[in-house]
Structure 1
């Protein structure tokens, strides 16, 4: 049984980061490239393997450096089976020092499933603090609430 909430007019369709200005990346000799994996749960099992509960996911891309920008080059969303569903970043943009941007996966969006994930590709100048990627999943129904957090892991 899926949690079916009424559609509200204010429900977002999909986060759009296209309004971020295109960033000029640092020259290769000054650049450090990174990749981060982040698990995200569009739904979780409830009661049994045949029943799921939908969640809203807020994915935060955080620049932890107070002096230098971080360049976000790609943000690819994958479903449980590893199929790329959506590219949230189509052109590189800079996260200003201490800036955070969010991607929101709507509670009604079940496309990712129970094993959804992101891979973020980013770059920094040398001697810059690496960015933080985290997801907060939440759902409330009546007096019940469910929430938890996942943190990005560096990958090669």
Structure 2
């Protein structure tokens, strides 16, 4: 059943992606190559001074991502774009994202996306993007996302969507974050 679901997901992604000539527009996606600006992220979030915050909860979340995957017996490389999505699942309370960092296969920091903490409203989300042509992360890349809150709230969903398009072929899959530190 899982194999069928994965094939269905790949087939849908293939049909959607191969029909698109250009990427969708309109959303606040912070690109690693151009560097995020607060204006790009404030559509759903607002800057906050964490020295004024009395945090009662918070976690560090590890999200595995792939700037490329291997295929065929010759280990050819297929490059992927990555969108990291941070979603506040709480209906009433804001979530404060204090850090979003991108690391490569060797564990070296590639990019730190935030210059200051951002308060994400209830049910708000924010995205961070790594272009398909950017292969600095490697097959073992990851994001570290740190968040805090002033009140008890439901656990956020932090996940990545990897997408690759080459000619008439497309591939898409997701990776969910794992809490590594309270």
TM-score, length basis structure 2: 0.73
Which residue is 1:71 aligned to? 96
Which residue is 2:158 aligned to? 133
Deviation at 1:15, TM superposition (A): 4.9
Larger strand share, 1 or 2: 1
Q: Secondary structure at the match of 1:115?
A: coil
Deviations 1:11-58 (A, max 9, x none): x63451433442144643x52121100001111012246421100111
- How many angstroms apart in 2 are the aligned matches of 1:150 and 1:126? 27
Alignment size in residue pairs: 146
- How many angstroms apart in 2 are the aligned matches of 1:50 and 1:143? 20
Unaligned 5+ runs, structure 1: 1-7
Unaligned 5+ runs, structure 2: 1-21, 26-30
1:15-94 aligned within 5 A: 15-19=35-39, 20=42, 21-25=46-50, 27-28=53-54, 30-48=55-73, 50-94=75-119
- How many angstroms apart in 1 are the aligned matches of 2:85 and 2:100? 11
Contact 1:38 1:134 in 2 (8 A): yes
- How many angstroms apart in 1 are the aligned matches of 2:60 and 2:157? 11
Closer, same or farther: CA 49–41 of 1 in aligned 2, 3 Å: farther
Q: How much is the aligned-residue C-alpha RMSD, in angstroms? A: 2.1
Which residue is 2:14 aligned to? none
Larger helix share, 1 or 2: 2
Q: Secondary structure at the match of 2:139?
A: helix
